[in-house]
Amino acid sequence: MSQEALFELKQVEKSFVKGKETISIFNDLNMTIDRGDFLAIMGPSGSGKTTLLNMLGGVDQPSGGEIWFDGARMDNLSESKLTQWRAHNIGFIFQFYNLMPMLNAARNVELPLLLTRLSRSQRKRSVEAALALVGLSDRAKHMTSEMSGGQQQRVAIARAIVSDPKLILCDEPTGDLDRTTADEILEMLQLLNRDHGKTIVMVTHDPAAASYARQTVHLDKGKFVHKEVLA
Amino acid sequence: MTSLFAQIGTVAMMNIRSLPRRLWMSLAMVLASAVVVAILLAFLAMAKGFESTMNSAGSDRVAVMMREGSAAEINSVITREQVNLIEESPGIARDTEGAPLVSPELYVIVDGLKKSSATKANIPLRGINTTGMAMRGNMQLVEGRMFTAGTNELIVGTGVLREFDGFALGEEVRFGKNVWTVVGVFTTGGNVFESELWADVKVIQSHYDRGSSYQTIRAQLETPGDISGLEKTIELEPRLNLEVQTESAYFAAQGKQLEYMAIFGRVISAIMALGALAGALNTMYTSVADRAKEIATLRTLGFSNLSAFCGTMIEALVLSAAGGLLGSAAAFLFFDGLSASTLGGSFTQVVFSFEMSPDLFAQGAQLALLIGFTSGFFPAWRAARLPVIVAFRAAT
Ligand SMILES: Nc1ncnc2c1ncn2[C@@H]1O[C@H](COP(=O)(O)OP(=O)(O)OP(=O)(O)O)[C@@H](O)[C@H]1O
Ligand SMILES: [Mg+2]
């Protein structure tokens, strides 16, 4: 295993059982994701992008093979161990933001910190720092349901980075946004990758979005078809 | 551990704040629990009120004697000779001149017109003397005066006055061919004697052709609760085919009469609770479905499934507890102190008040929480088992 590898997938298989049929999405998928990478995953609908991202994020488990993270196997962890693993290591950014509409921006950002041992004042400071980073310091007390899509996604980014995870996973983070807002969000992800050393894996349909990444892999029928290195 | 409390607290707070999204369903659950609790409390308060009306009537210091086998006063007959024999018995208290404190009483039934239903109902007319009145320790005239011995005068209990027409002070009432005048109003501290009319025992004997016979004998006991002297006398004297018991024992047995109301109330509210439970389960399953994406998102972020379980459970308990409080408040407002009357032991009306008490409220609270717990448990289980990947589905 190379020094830089954060993720290593070895002969990963994934299939879903639908009624009497078994649909095989991946069989024998091998890949590594390096520390500090910003990886875009592209591919046609149904090619397994979300399925792959879910396995990397520990919300879904492979049917076979091994997934190593930071030198330890994670695919065979129990559900409660995986839950803790996610809390410690992963920041999630969703296509539809997945904010809690009954909480204000600051309380939304604070959620992952409730899983840590931080005191109230430490949490407050981290929330303020995260909101400042996404340029929403003045909106801390606003309800997220009253915000624009771009603002909501920025709150979601603040939530994803507030507990300082090693890895950020995004599934179509700009899929619901217009071009200019999408560019803002992507620049922000790029900044997190370049200046804050976050490893980012982003699923997208949009070649313009993928151009912000360091590399892009194309997925089709459960295989990587080719890989581009951009930066 | 602190993290777990923080998680549960946050999830519970979010669930409560999201209630307006499910306003009508949640209100329906609150109302259903409220109705069930109110109904349970109404029945229990009725039984409780009746029981304490009966219980407080009975004194330990007084023995009641009736003919053997007559469960209630109305069925009993006692001769003057038997009264004389009892007066000689040991164990009976005596006044300063050495006269035994014994009250032979008559108990006949007359008609009255109920205010609530304008229908006729039975009222007991008790023939009594001053010794007998003195045995009702808490008897007090609140209006008018005592009846004069040997006349057609009577005094009326406040319960009768409250529930029946035509017994106001100074009014003339006709029972059969006799006309009586109400000269006084008495209370006995809220107990069953207030549901009676009292008049001179000798006058009733003559109007109702009872010769020199009576129906019950009451005797003041030398030692409270000790009827052994009287029992001995009755055992040794074959002419005394009597049963003796303390007055408190006599009324306690009668007070159990409305126990079936408590049982009935429990059965009714249990059946209704099942209905409320079905509705509450539906509300809570809807809540879990409504919050599915939020639950899954929190689980993705690393919140435990226990927090999803507890959050749902707390929501159910909060809703049912709100219903319990509402139901208790309603029961208290509408039923506490409510006057009612029912058939007592001798087919006469006993007037009593519904009585709410802390232990009844505790039973109401238990029922509400039981509804909350049961209706929360299965949906909470579902919330805890919700697949995390729901978070990644398209917006709904
Ligand atoms: N939970 C599941 N049960 C059954 N089949 C599933 C499940 N999740 C995904 N699939 C199937 O696996 C395949 C890959 O799905 P996936 O969501 O990973 O595709 P995708 O590349 O993300 O597509 P899109 O671009 O539309 O988001 C699809 O055929 C899908 O129907
Ligand atoms: Mg997808």
B382-392: per-residue pLDDT in tens? 999 998 888 87
**Sequential DSSP letters for A22-37:** EEEEEEEEEEEEETT-
Domain count, chain B: 2
Q: Render pLDDT for B236-253 as a digit per residue (tens, 0 to 9).
A: 999 999 999 998 888 887
Within a domain: residue B246?
A: no
Same domain, B126 and B74: yes
Residues 6+ apart with CB under 8 A from B53: B190, B191, B192, B255, B350, B351, B352, B353
In a domain? residue B252: no
| Same structural domain, B73 and B96 | yes
Residue B107 falls inside a structural domain:
yes
**pLDDT score of B348 more than 50:** yes
pLDDT digits (tens, 9 = 90+) for B350-377: 777 888 888 889 999 999 999 999 999 9
The Cα–Cα gap between A14 and A162 comes to 32
User: What is the rounded CA–CA span in Å between residue B289 and residue A223?
Assistant: 36
B275 with B351, same domain?
yes
Residues 6+ apart with CB under 8 A from A192: A157, A161, A168, A198, A200
Per-residue confidence (pLDDT) for residue B396, from 0 to 100: 47
The residue range of the domain holding B94 is: 69-240
Residue B48 pLDDT greater than 90, yes or no: no
For chain B, the average pLDDT equals: 89
Domain match, B229 and B345 both: no
From CA A169, how far away is CA A199, in angstroms rounded?
Answer: 9
A117 C-beta closer than 6 A to ligand 1: no
Do B51 and B92 lie in one domain? The reply is no
The answer to the question of residue B86 being in a domain is yes
Judgement on whether residues B315 and B381 belong to the same structural domain of the protein = yes
- CB nearest to A87's CB, from B2, B294, B302: B302
Same domain for B223 and B286, yes or no, is no
Q: Are residues B108 and B228 in the same domain?
A: yes
Say if residue B270 is in the same domain as residue B339: yes
Q: What confidence tens digit (pLDDT) does each residue in B290-334 have?
A: 999 999 999 999 999 999 999 999 999 999 999 999 999 999 888
Determine whether the shortest distance from the Cβ of A20 to ligand 1 is under 6 A.
no
- Does residue B227 form part of some domain? yes
Sign of CA dihedral B290, B296, B301, B306: positive
Residue B290 Cα, gap to closest chain A Cα (Å)? 13
Whole-prediction pTM: 0.78
Q: Which residues contact residue B351 at a Cβ distance below 8 angstroms, ignoring those fewer than 6 apart?
A: B53, B157, B159, B160, B162, B163, B194, B195, B339, B340, B341
CA angle, residues B242, B247, B252, in degrees to nearest 5: 115
Q: Relative to the CA of A17, which ligand 1 atom is closest?
A: 4
> Who has greater pLDDT, B393 or B232?
B232
Using CA atoms, how far apart are residues A114 and B8, in angstroms rounded to an integer? Answer: 10
The length of chain B, given as a count of residues: 396
Least Cα distance to B66 among B104, B94, B101 occurs for B104
> Is position B88 within any domain?
yes
| B75: confidence class by pLDDT, cuts 50, 70, 90 | confident
Instruction: Quick: pLDDT tens for A12-38.
Output: 999 988 888 988 999 889 999 999 999
A92 φ/ψ angles, rounded to the nearest 5 degrees: -105, 135
Do residue B233 and residue B263 come from a single domain?
no
- CB-CB neighbors (< 8 A) of B304 in chain A: 80, 83
Domain presence at residue B80:
yes
**B281 and B375 within one domain:** yes
Q: What is the pLDDT of residues B155-197, one digit of tens each?
A: 999 999 998 999 999 999 999 889 999 999 999 887 888 989 9
Is B208 domain-assigned?
yes
Facing B293 at nearest CB: one of A98, A103, A171: A98
- Closest Cα of chain A to B20: distance in Å? 10
CATH number of A36-61+86-229: 3.40.50.300
Residue with tokens 């330990």: B60
Residues of B in contact with A57 (CB under 8 A): 300
For chain A, give every domain's residue range. 36-61+86-229
CB distance B196 to B126 below 8 Å: yes
Do B232 and B263 belong together in one domain? no
Identify the domain boundary among B240, B272, B288.
B240
